[in-house]
A = this chain, B = another copy of it.
């Protein structure tokens, strides 16, 4: 407690430690970085240094380390919007995983705006992040390509660009929909509507393909009017209206498959507004879980994203790039099966 008074109290530097131990700064550095052996520092001296370090509680100045080594020990995490529950959950796991490897996270969100994404990448570069974890918005191909061209470690999550050779981790979108469809078809439903969003991202396409193939396998004809594509930017009430019109227009539709949780939530509103009951009037399955779906009566059946696995895999891929400079192979493009969770709605 004796050295805490006074406001001047400068932070202890490596130099100070060296002085106190009666050795050169370089010696302290070697000892602290486990290079004592390699640099032939005698055990005696090494111990003396360690003692001083322990006594003073010295901690290296990370900014200085960063400047010298060029490693910030910081990763940039860019999500669509941190207030989305999937992304929030992702961020949480990623943070703790990164910590295990000694990395910090700088987080930012694109709000699904490619231009903002571009700016944020610039910002993260200024911050000298060592690697990027990105859930890309449509239109960010160029940015990703540029990162690759500069050999910056990147891992995409949640989506990717088929034409860009980049490591990614995401749920098996196609397989997830197939799981859900299998359940519906198994229950004897054949008039199944598919409600999706008007976006160019692969995962959306793959979900749609899962729907088509599932029908085809059962020899159920695909009808275009049983598919609704909602524009990403359409306001809440318009979207609800569109879904309601879709349901009434498709007289006799037995089940609805929503391709994102955002759509599913809109779907709940729409269905409630029409006074329909799940699953009797209409069965419902949604891709991607949400807190609401657990609670909303009678509970919404979903295909859940394996958030934890996605996060862990992503970090692990990134770490590989970071210390091995690994190239992009098929092994670094991972699809993880989703988890089908049966609740009351289907």
Contacts and interface: CB of A to CB of B under 8 A. Distances in A.
Interface of A: 4, 7, 59, 61-64, 66-67, 72, 81-85, 88-89, 91-92, 95, 104-109, 123, 126-128, 149, 151, 265, 268-269, 272, 290-292, 295-297
B295 A265 contact: yes
- Most chain-B Cβ atoms within 10 A of its Cβ — which of A88, A292, A296? A88
A83 B89 contact: yes
Contacts of A105: 106-108
A153 to B, nearest CB: 14
Given A292-B291, A292-B295, A104 B123 contact: yes
A293 to B, nearest CB: 10
Contacts of A127: 62, 104
A61 B67 CA distance: 9
Copy total for this chain: 2
Contacts of A81: 92
A46 B297 CA distance: 68
- Enumerate the 9 nearest inter-chain pairs by beta-carbon distance, A residue then B residue, closest first: A83-B88, A88-B88, A63-B67, A292-B292, A83-B92, A63-B66, A62-B126, A83-B89, A82-B92
Nearest to A292: B292
Given A67-B67, A85-B85, A295-B296, A106 B106 contact: yes
A89 to B, nearest CB: 5
A123 B103 CA distance: 11
Contacts of A106: 104-106
A341 to B, nearest CB: 16
Contacts of A126: 59, 62
B85 A91 contact: no
Given A62-B127, A292-B296, 15 more contacts: A4-B149, A61-B128, A63-B72, A63-B128, A83-B89, A83-B92, A85-B291, A95-B107, A104-B127, A106-B106, A107-B107, A269-B295, A272-B295, A290-B291, A292-B292
Nearest to A297: B272
Nearest to A294: B269
A54 to B, nearest CB: 16
A167 B126 CA distance: 31
9 contacts: A62-B126, A62-B127, A82-B95, A83-B89, A92-B109, A104-B127, A106-B106, A269-B295, A296-B296
Given A105-B107, A106-B105, A82 B91 contact: yes
Contact of A85 (B59, B83, B265, B268): B83
Given A72-B63, A296-B295, A109 B95 contact: yes
A129 to B, nearest CB: 11
Nearest to A84: B88
Contacts of A4: 149
Contact of A291 (B7, B91, B291): B291
Contacts of A123: 104
A109 B67 CA distance: 27
Nearest to A107: B107
A59 B123 CA distance: 11
Nearest to A268: B295
A82 B109 CA distance: 14
